[in-house]
Chain A
Amino acid sequence: MKLSKPMRGILEKEWRHSRGYFLATLLIIIYTPVIKTIFHLFRGGASMEQWVQELNFALTFGVGMARPLVYSSGLLQWLPAIGALLLGIIILGEERKGGLNYLVSTPVSRWQIILAKFFPGAGVVILSMVVNGLFLVGLGLFQPVSYNPVDVFHWCLLTGATCLCIFTVALMVSTFTAGVLAAGVVCYFLNLLPGMIVAMIEHVGARYFGLVESVSIKLCKLGSYLTMSDYIIHSERHITSVQHYPGWTTTGISATGGMGPDYLLDSCILLAGVLLFLILAIIIFERSSLQTGGAIFATGSARKTALAIGALIISYWLVFPRAETLLKFILYFSLLTGLIIMGSQYLYRLLRYGWQLPVRKKKNSTY
């Protein structure tokens, strides 16, 4: 496939502009498996033995298994994800300060801008995981490790897919947020949001519609599959029972320990997520104006959507523990949501324009 001249131009620009970020991301992703291992190799002796044990544990027992607290190999899962997140929010968010306005005013289409950011970023993530995989397999030739190349492949596949998904979500979030910090904050909440919404639906179903436990378990599992951080820690995937505490918006979940993740299924879900979030990133970026309108959200529609979601969650937290019947729940929930949305909008206008809202004289004549 031959790339068009503008596409080659912006890919070159991307390399010239973001190569520092690409290098930093690569170093973050390979830090624990490669750099830290080399560090322990140099120290040798007990330090290396302890580290090999930690690698064995993390790679043999699965990505997110509970591990002894003294083990620092948790970094094996978290650092790559953090690296991918930072790259996703920086690669587009940072450019909002300057160059993006120039780029959008040229003959380059907006979808090309997103793809020119996605492909190099995804390439760095994949390259980093290849380096990690080769290094860990190579390490097995010189050190007495209990993991095998299949374990390494599984780990690389799932961690790589998780990193790609997180990178794409961060890229998508950057299309409607006002800067790097704002994108980071929104990414954090967006990670929690699907799980929260599924939990809310499950609670309402259990209390007002007598949902059976098997359905509750399925819903909780769905929530876990929709939460990206759960692919890293896998804390709530193998659920055996769900307990509801009366009057509370929390749920007790019992899960079986000692089970590894379904690498293939999880990776496929994550890669489907990558495709979905990439399409969403293109659609949002195509439709939005490049005008920074606020501290967190760059567009008015993003601000309104966030306000509506925030109002729904706050209303739920306040109403659900107190509403005994479905009718009361619907009534209070709708009322409070509406009040929060209207009140926030009024407060926003008040803070922005003061007590005297702008009044325009209707005197428009054309000569």
Chain B
Amino acid sequence: MDLAIETRALSKSFDGLQAVDKLHLAVPAGSIFGLIGPNGAGKSTLIKMLIGLIRPDSGDGFILGQSIRKRDGSIRNRVGYVPDVPVMYPGFTVAEMYRLSSKLYPFWDWERCRELHQGFHLPEGQRIRNLSRGQKVQVALVMALALRPQLLLLDEPTAGLDPVVRRAFLQTIIEEVAGQGTTVFYSSHNLNDLEQSADHIAAIYRGRMLFSHTLDELKETVHRLQLIFTGEPPEDAIKSLPGLMEYHQSGRVITITIIGHLDSISPRLVELEPELVKELNLDLESIFVTFMEAQGYGFER
């Protein structure tokens, strides 16, 4: 399997705080890979290390087969980057930013740039400092796509965008992947967006990998089950089930979230003799919240 991104025990700390901790990650080429994690999990640090803004303390990372420790900037020839708050040059006009990018990227495509620019209805002569946040993100996306990228690194780009712009943004990215085979590495807190667009999901917490699966695998692996018992539920037996992440009891009704394939879980459940077993719908957000709560992450009143 070709990998667009690979990290091997990649680590970075700031003033003694471990932002990324021996992270191993493999992103298949041509995938839309969603990266999720709570605030401060190390998502932005990871992306900034991949694009070369932050130097790793130890370990190594590879983008499109080349080490991120390489000093030569040409490893970013076909890597587009859209940060959460694109800064660029505030005194430059949009057209001047395009012109600058066209000189820096060897595969720059003016036709694609014009097409996307017109599609987003961006003002060409406006200075960057006078653009709204959403417009800046769109300009950054136009520049990232016009360089004919093989890899797109998106760091929470849709945070704070209105629904229309957000949808247009996602649609453009999906079209890019479908048409060009670009790999998209996409960090976001908006799990609905990821659920609609991503085919792989990885979660990091405190700089470490919690899980990394395809979306289908993830949904096949994590289950929320409702068990109803005729008599007193066998609490201890249920709590000793392997892979149990969440347990909630309300009278004779038990709701559990469990990791594992149903084929392996079912025989254990049958032994408990429940009157009824029902699988509840579990979306990406619920899976993420369950994982986070299992890690002790949450708001305590």
Residues of A at under 8 Å CB distance from B?
5-6, 8-10, 12-13, 16-17, 97-99, 101-102, 104-112, 286-291, 293, 300, 349, 352, 358, 360-361, 363-367
Interfacial chain B residues near A12, Cβ < 8 Å? 100, 103
Which of chain B's residues has its CB closest to A20's CB?
Answer: B91
Query: A366 and B211 in contact (CB under 8 A), knowing A10-B104, A106-B105, A288-B55?
Result: yes
Interfacial chain A residues near B21, Cβ < 8 Å? 364
Question: Residue B178 at the A interface, CB < 8 A?
Answer: no
From A102, A108, A360, contact of B89 by CB (8 A) = A102
A-B contact count (CB 8 A): 107
Q: Is the CB–CB distance between B73 and A358 below 8 Å? A: no
Interfacial chain A residues near B73, Cβ < 8 Å? 6, 106-110, 112
Query: A102 and B88 in contact (CB under 8 A), knowing A13-B100, A361-B296?
Result: yes
Residue among B72, B88, B89, B296 having the largest count of chain A Cβ atoms under 10 Å: B89
Q: Is the CB–CB distance between B103 and A8 below 8 Å? A: yes
Report how many residues on chain B are interfacial, defined by Cβ distance under 8 Å.
44
Q: Is the CB–CB distance between B74 and A290 below 8 Å? A: no
Q: Which of B75-83, B109-117, B166-174, B269-277 contacts A (4 or more CB under 8 A)?
A: B75-83
CA distance A176 to B211 in the complex (A): 36
Q: Is the CB–CB distance between A98 and B89 below 8 Å? A: yes
Interfacial chain B residues near A97, Cβ < 8 Å? 87
Can you name 13 A-B pairs with beta carbons within 8 Å? A5-B103, A6-B103, A9-B103, A13-B100, A102-B86, A102-B88, A105-B53, A106-B101, A106-B104, A107-B74, A108-B104, A112-B73, A358-B17
Interfacial chain A residues near B90, Cβ < 8 Å? 98-99
Residues of B at under 8 Å CB distance from A?
14-18, 21, 48, 51-55, 71-77, 81, 83, 86-92, 96, 100-101, 103-106, 206, 208-211, 259, 291, 295-296
CA distance A8 to B90 in the complex (A): 21
Interfacial chain A residues near B74, Cβ < 8 Å? 107, 109
Q: Is the CB–CB distance between B104 and A291 below 8 Å? A: no
Residue among A107, A109, A358, A361 having the largest count of chain B Cβ atoms under 10 Å: A107
CA distance A365 to B210 in the complex (A): 6
Interfacial chain A residues near B91, Cβ < 8 Å? 17
A sample of 9 more A-B contacts (CB under 8 A), given A290-B48, A363-B295, is A6-B73, A13-B100, A106-B101, A107-B105, A289-B53, A289-B55, A363-B296, A364-B21, A366-B211
Which of chain B's residues has its CB closest to A95's CB?
Answer: B89
Q: Is the CB–CB distance between B104 and A6 below 8 Å? A: yes
B272 CB, min distance to chain A CBs, angstroms: 24
Interfacial chain A residues near B14, Cβ < 8 Å? 291, 293, 300
Q: Is the CB–CB distance between A107 and B100 below 8 Å? A: no
Q: Is the CB–CB distance between B103 and A17 below 8 Å? A: no
The 8 closest A-B pairs by CB, nearest first: A9-B103, A109-B73, A98-B87, A289-B54, A367-B211, A99-B89, A106-B104, A107-B73
CA distance A360 to B296 in the complex (A): 11
Query: A110 and B71 in contact (CB under 8 A), knowing A98-B88, A287-B55, A293-B15?
Result: yes
B173 CB, min distance to chain A CBs, angstroms: 18
CA distance A162 to B81 in the complex (A): 41
Interfacial chain B residues near A111, Cβ < 8 Å? 71
CA distance A286 to B210 in the complex (A): 32
Query: A101 and B100 in contact (CB under 8 A), knowing A107-B73, A300-B15, A366-B208?
Result: no
Interfacial chain B residues near A360, Cβ < 8 Å? 18, 206
Interfacial chain A residues near B259, Cβ < 8 Å? 367
Interfacial chain B residues near A112, Cβ < 8 Å? 73
Which of chain B's residues has its CB closest to A364's CB?
Answer: B208
